[in-house]
Chains A and B, each alone.
Chain A
Amino acid sequence: MNNAQTEVKVKRETKNKIRVEFDRTPFWQRMKAKFINKNFLTKLIWAIFRYVILIGISYIILFPFFTKISSSFMGPEDFVDATVKLIPKNFTFDTYKYIFLENKYMQALGNTALLSVSAALLQTFVCAMIGYGLAKFKFRGNKILFLLVIFSMIIPHQTLQLSLFMKFRYFDVLGIIQLLGGGSSWFPWFNVTGGTTSINLTNTYIPLAMLSATGLAFKNGLYIFMMRQFYRGVPNELEESAYIDGSGIFKTFLKIILPLSIPMMITIFLFAFSWQWTDTFYTSLFFTRTSIVLMKNVIAIPESLNITYAGSNMYNAAIRNTCGLMIIAPLVVIYLFCQRYLIQGIERSGMTAD
């Protein structure tokens, strides 16, 4: 009773204000109670463990890029100097300069940009369309069609390499061109010589355009799958109200559904674009001539840097890596802008495998 009275002192200062003074627990004691307990300590240990692992793996991912970047600025002398590690002694831009000048970099950049942007745009739009058709419409064969999409995803195109090449080397849709008898007046730009019954589509952009427009290009099955899962989560009421307001199927898709799915489409565009950009399989399959300079043709040792000395093995590897860096430079810029959407799009897709 007495204690309680001593602990809480009530001072009447003015008429209306009452000041109460507590005996507060000392600062250190409060800190102790807060931080030295089982709950906090386990949390702390987990956080340290998590950061160690995440930073370690980030290091594993980024370290090759660091070494590539640092070795790209090194002069040839640095590769025989044992004291040079990550910081170049003979700092030089020569590697970049000669790759830029002698490996037809700008030409490759232009061609690949044209190819990748158009292919990726086409694939994104077509996959969104197919995914929407599969997700929102009930029609006979819907499930079979979805199975066929999965089927087209699981047969790797590497297995079909020869027949894909032959298909477009001797292209003929269901014998139509054979019927025309090699009508060179119909398709003068295909370079059809008299008497042949097929057209050669290799070394043009047409094979990739056809594959993209039909949702059969690289990993398009995955994109269709992702789009379908996304559209399944979009409530039906949206379209129903649009239909009631008199909007047609295509108008609804273009005006209401497509704007909704922009984060997901950016994700898919990013995948399609960057995989097409660094692709080796299709470009080496369909572009057999070197007259069309693509990114794969950039990887070479420029004439001016082709020197033989003790460190040339490593120097050449460094030059090839620099070519790689110059190839992915546009991708890095795009990734920096789009990675936010990449993760958002994936989170919103809420994929459920049923």
Chain B
Amino acid sequence: MNKEAEVKLVQTPAKKRKKRSHSLERKTARGGYLFTLPFIIGFIVIYLPVVFESFLYSVTTIERINAGESYQLIWAGLANYREALFSDPNYVQILTAGLRQLVLDVPAILIFSLFIAVLLNQKMVGRAAFRAIFFVPVILSTGLIAQIDTSNTSLMSYMSDTEGIGTNAAKSTSVAEIVSAMDIEYLFSNMKIGGGMAKYVSQILNNIYNIVNRSGVQMLIFLAGLQSISPAIYESCNVEGASAWETFWKITFPMISPMILVNFIYTIIDAFTSSTNSVMSYINQVYGEAGKDTLSVAMAWIYFAIVIVFVLLAAALMSAFVFYQRRD
């Protein structure tokens, strides 16, 4: 009798605790599902079918029946892909040019945005004003405005001497290129670096408006990363007598490296939606032509597949050099 009572006394709290922890676990799990429910529903009902159908359209042709009220898919196999790669006169050419442009632009955007983020992170007079100015393109130079800017190219060729920053300047005849290719070649010839590099740098400098416009979000992400580095590390570096250059390469760069990876992927994905993307604008043009909409889908998938393979390879390579600080 006594023994039984004792056993009961011992058992009950254990049982209770177990039960409660179980219910709490279930409660938090239920909360998690409830909060993410919109995304789960959307992903299953809209997103997955859309991605799947996009694949499906790339191997079919669409025939609208019943006066456009419904449609029929006709199996076409790899015909769309074959047409994109072998029959279309422009696609492969534009694709290679676009990919080359992407490879050239991405490092420039990354380096520029990191550089500016480091500058804007320092304490100085007018920092808030500079930050406000640097984020103007993120808010104001997207979508419609970028479209207007690119449509100004006819204006540009009309005023051939405003190649540099006046890309969308209606009235800037007095502004010449910021830096001419000659200057850069002269600089680099003294440094014994090849002409290709000089050409690349001068190209970037004259395209700087475009690069500044496209590096706003990256700058924000880098700034956030820089803010999260503890000032104590810099202090101890200073005490040990490290120069600013050493501090950057030994502290800032490794600490910011996860952000570099994030920004690398973001930049490439962002390039898809950029109005200066020649491949996407060509695909849009094909999409607009009658009866070629599924061809444009195949083209988009080819482009996306190449880029994503490139991104994954580069990300795998970069992740070996990324430094993660353990904060426990």
Contacts and interface: CB of A to CB of B under 8 A. Distances in A.
4 closest pairs, A vs B, by CB? A214-B42, A133-B35, A137-B32, A278-B143
Interface string B125-142: 000101111111111101
Interface in B189-208: 208
| A interface, size bucket | 35 or more
A152 B134 contact: no
Scoring A86, A197, A353 by chain B CB atoms within 10 A of each residue's CB, the highest score goes to A353
A54 B66 CA distance: 61
Contacts of A347: 223-224, 227
Contacts of A350: 224, 227-228
Contacts of B135: 339, 342-343
Given A275-B143, A351-B228, A158 B272 contact: yes
Nearest to B223: A346
B203 to A, nearest CB: 16
Interface string B159-176: 100000111111111110
Interface string A49-87: 011011001101111110110110010000100101110
Given A196-B66, A274-B139, A317-B152, 7 more contacts: A68-B170, A133-B33, A158-B283, A160-B54, A249-B31, A352-B325, A353-B262
A47 B69 CA distance: 66
A215 B169 CA distance: 37
B92 interface: no
Contacts, number: 303
Given A163-B54, A350-B227, A328 B130 contact: no
27 contacts: A50-B124, A53-B119, A61-B137, A67-B170, A79-B171, A139-B31, A140-B29, A145-B39, A145-B40, A154-B265, A154-B311, A155-B51, A156-B272, A158-B272, A158-B280, A159-B303, A160-B54, A162-B294, A166-B71, A167-B46, A174-B45, A210-B42, A271-B139, A279-B144, A299-B147, A317-B154, A353-B259
A56 to B, nearest CB: 9
Interface of A: 46-47, 50-51, 53-54, 57-58, 60-65, 67-68, 70-71, 74, 79, 82, 84-86, 126, 129-130, 132-134, 136-140, 142, 145, 148-149, 152-164, 166-167, 170, 173-174, 193, 196-198, 210-211, 213-216, 222, 224, 249-250, 253, 270-271, 274-275, 277-281, 295-296, 299, 313-314, 317-318, 320-321, 323-324, 327-328, 331-332, 335, 339-340, 342-343, 346-347, 349-354
A313 B49 contact: no
B301 interface: yes
A160 B224 contact: no
A278 B151 contact: no
B104 interface: no
A67 B212 contact: no
B145 A328 contact: yes
Contacts of B54: 159-160, 162-163
Given A60-B208, A346-B220, A196 B69 contact: yes
A170 B192 CA distance: 62
B57 interface: yes
B47 interface: yes
Contacts of A160: 50-51, 54
B170 A314 contact: yes
B148 A214 contact: no
Contact of A54 (B71, B119, B172): B119
Contact of A173 (B25, B45, B138): B45
Given A167-B46, A214-B38, A328-B145, A62 B29 contact: no
Contact of A156 (B29, B41, B269, B293): B269
Contact of B28 (A63, A138, A159, A274): A138
Contacts of A82: 173
A165 B236 CA distance: 57
B296 interface: yes
B302 to A, nearest CB: 10
A60 B137 CA distance: 11
Contacts of B300: 158-159, 161
